[in-house]
């Protein structure tokens, strides 16, 4: 083990509950296995229930087998999402916890930060029958310190000292008066930090590893004239529907614009959107053209992260057509689990391009044999972006990691990349900007979305509409 892993074990080995907040790529799975081994050798536990995102179950199995061998009979690995809907899985796990001395691992515990979610309630119930409990995550919080409540209730409610979220909220949460359920601010953070510190080991890659550096680049391209007209028409329609009190209208705006940028035709008057391909052939899409131009001459393996299934399908088709069958493999939710495993094995051996959705490939996979990553499209959450980058920038990486973002000039892409660089939520950032406006100005909102201004509260033009026939590049 590395020194930081030894330090983690030494701190937590005498505790029944704890949290490993170790940045992706620092070896938290190996650290957790060492803590389990110490308890197992002393006869304190005889079975391990390992909860993790369903998409990484096989990766966890491989990681465990790498350290302890092929026999996994003392492990039960279950997808966290399964506990939201499967009565059978919940009953079986409860029975197992009652019959054996179980060590409960909740891997990627940020997935159970919602105290009202069924999965969270089921895990809390399960934890009551497991004498040893450990949560694993790259960072303590993904959005606000309120994320801590449910995760630490799973460990032991007495650590924070609150038996209900409402008592927690009364002492720490400042609610937004305008939007029900929206957190405006968290206070008394020092109290929370002080309470969890004795049970926590936290480390980042920069603190413990001498990894090769990451380099970032952007590839700009222009929408076609026809796309620009359509983009502005969609923006016109959806901006007039914006209600900052209803976040779903903001999501709808961003989704509609991103669909157009990715190469779709969108009818914004329908709910849900009616969409179809904007181009007759994927090769006509300027975004795919920009990708192919960037890949020209690249001889190493490449990971291409996409947001939408149609993007993955089109890119795989184009790459296999140009470079030969099987050179590109898809990895997303529509690919059956067994086939995903085969595609991952193909990428580890003969395939050159791994075209993936961050939801499926952003957690748990060890892809450090690759050092070239292209973000064909981004979503609006910094946590998922960070997780996906850490698939390659982790222990075992020998080369500098090159990360490329595609960006349609003068579009929503610009604002997404600015928010990601500042680790901001795109939706919340836009809500704050709207709330700062004294008068609703469509042109000012559009210019903020496109990254042309940083504060629309002070940039009110009073035009009230967008010239849908104008395309600036």
Average pLDDT of 445-454? 78
Give the pLDDT band of residue 471 (cuts 50, 70, 90). very low
Of 390 and 458, the structure prediction assigns the larger pLDDT to 390
Q: Residues near 59 by Cβ (< 8 Å), separated by ≥ 6?
A: 364, 365, 366
User: Alpha carbon of 318 to those of 192, 283, 355, 431: distances in Å?
Assistant: 51, 7, 12, 38
Between residues 44 and 465, the one the model is more confident about? 44
Residue 98 has a pLDDT of 97
pLDDT at 469 over 50: no
What pLDDT, in 10s, does the model give residues 248-299?
Answer: 888 899 999 999 999 999 999 998 999 999 999 999 999 999 999 999 989 9
pLDDT band at 467 (very low <50, low <70, confident <90, very high): very low
Q: What domains lie within the chain, and their CATH numbers?
A: 3-208 (3.40.50.10810), 214-458 (3.40.50.300)
Statement: residue 460 has pLDDT above 50: no
Residue bearing the bigger pLDDT, 372 or 440: 372
Angle at which helix 426-435 crosses helix 412-421, to 10 degrees, equals 100
* pLDDT tens digits along 147-201: 899 999 999 999 999 999 999 999 999 988 777 777 888 999 999 999 999 999 9
Which is more confident, 48 or 243? 48
pTM over 0.75: no
Separation CA 397–CA 78 (nearest Å): 29
Q: Is the dihedral of CA 206, 207, 209, 210 positive or negative?
A: positive
Confidence check: pLDDT of 213 > 70: yes
Residue 445: Cβ-neighbour burial (10 angstroms; 0-12, 13-18, 19+):
buried
Task: Read off the pLDDT of each residue in 355-362 and give the average, rounded to a whole number.
Answer: 82
Contact criterion met (CB below 8 Å) for 174 and 183 = yes
pLDDT tens per residue, range 227-236: 999 999 999 9
Q: Looking at 52-66, 199-213, 419-433, which range is the least confident one? A: 419-433
User: Based on the number of CB atoms within 10 Å of its own CB, is 43 exposed (0-12), middle (13-18) or buried (19 or more)?
Assistant: exposed
How far is residue 426 from each of residues 140, 287, 296, 381, 448, measured CA to CA in Å? 21, 22, 32, 8, 11
Going by pLDDT thresholds of 50, 70 and 90, the confidence category of residue 462 is very low
Q: Tens of pLDDT along 86-140?
A: 999 999 999 999 999 999 999 988 888 889 999 999 999 999 999 999 999 988 8
pLDDT at residue 458 above 50?
no
Q: What average pLDDT does the chain have?
A: 88
Mean pLDDT of the 403-421 span? 93
pLDDT band per the 50, 70, 90 thresholds, residue 466 = very low
């Amino acid at each position: 083990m590395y020194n930081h892993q030894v330090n983690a074990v030494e701190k937590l080995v005498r505790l029944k509950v704890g949290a490993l907040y170790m940045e992706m790529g620092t070896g938290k799975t190996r650290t957790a296995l060492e803590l389990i081994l110490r308890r197992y050798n002393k006869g304190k536990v005889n079975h391990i229930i390992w909860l993790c995102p369903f998409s990484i179950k096989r990766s966890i199995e491989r990681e465990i087998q790498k350290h302890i061998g092929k026999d996994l009979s003392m492990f039960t690995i279950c997808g966290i999402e399964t506990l939201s809907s499967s009565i059978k899985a919940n009953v079986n796990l409860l029975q197992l916890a009652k019959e054996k001395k179980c060590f409960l691992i909740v891997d990627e515990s940020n997935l159970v930060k919602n105290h009202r979610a069924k999965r969270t309630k089921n895990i809390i119930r399960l934890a009551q029958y497991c004498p040893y409990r450990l949560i694993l995550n790259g960072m303590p919080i993904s959005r606000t310190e309120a994320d801590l409540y449910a995760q630490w209730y799973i460990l032991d409610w007495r650590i924070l000292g609150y038996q209900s979220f409402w008592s927690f909220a009364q002492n720490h949460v400042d609610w937004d008066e305008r939007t029900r359920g929206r957190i405006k601010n968290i206070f008394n953070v020092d109290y929370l930090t002080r309470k969890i510190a004795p049970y926590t080991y936290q480390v980042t890659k920069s603190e413990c590893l001498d990894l090769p550096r990451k380099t970032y680049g952007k590839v700009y391209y222009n929408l076609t004239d026809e796309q620009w007209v359509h983009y502005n028409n969609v923006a016109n329609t959806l901006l007039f529907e914006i209600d900052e009190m209803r976040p779903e209208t903001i999501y709808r705006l961003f989704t509609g614009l991103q669909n157009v940028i990715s190469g779709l035709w969108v009818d914004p008057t329908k709910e849900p959107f009616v969409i179809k391909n904007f181009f007759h052939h994927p090769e006509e899409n300027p975004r795919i053209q920009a990708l192919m131009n960037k890949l020209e001459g690249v001889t190493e393996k490449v990971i291409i992260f996409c947001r939408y299934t149609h993007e993955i399908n089109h890119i795989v088709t184009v790459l296999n057509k140009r470079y030969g069958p099987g050179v590109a493999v898809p990895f997303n939710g529509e690919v059956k689990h067994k086939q995903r495993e085969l595609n991952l094995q193909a990428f580890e051996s003969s395939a050159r391009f791994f075209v993936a959705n961050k939801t499926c490939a952003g957690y748990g996979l060890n892809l450090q044999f690759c050092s070239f990553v292209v973000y064909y499209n981004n979503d609006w959450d910094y946590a998922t972006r960070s997780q996906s980058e850490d698939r390659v920038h982790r222990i075992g990486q020998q080369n500098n990691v090159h990360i490329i973002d595609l960006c349609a000039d003068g579009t929503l892409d610009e604002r997404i990349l600015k928010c990601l660089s500042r680790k901001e939520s795109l939706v919340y950032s836009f809500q704050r900007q709207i709330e700062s406006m004294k008068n609703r100005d469509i042109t000012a909102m559009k210019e903020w979305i496109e990254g042309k201004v940083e504060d629309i509260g002070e940039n009110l033009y009073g035009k009230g509409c967008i010239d849908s026939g104008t395309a600036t590049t």
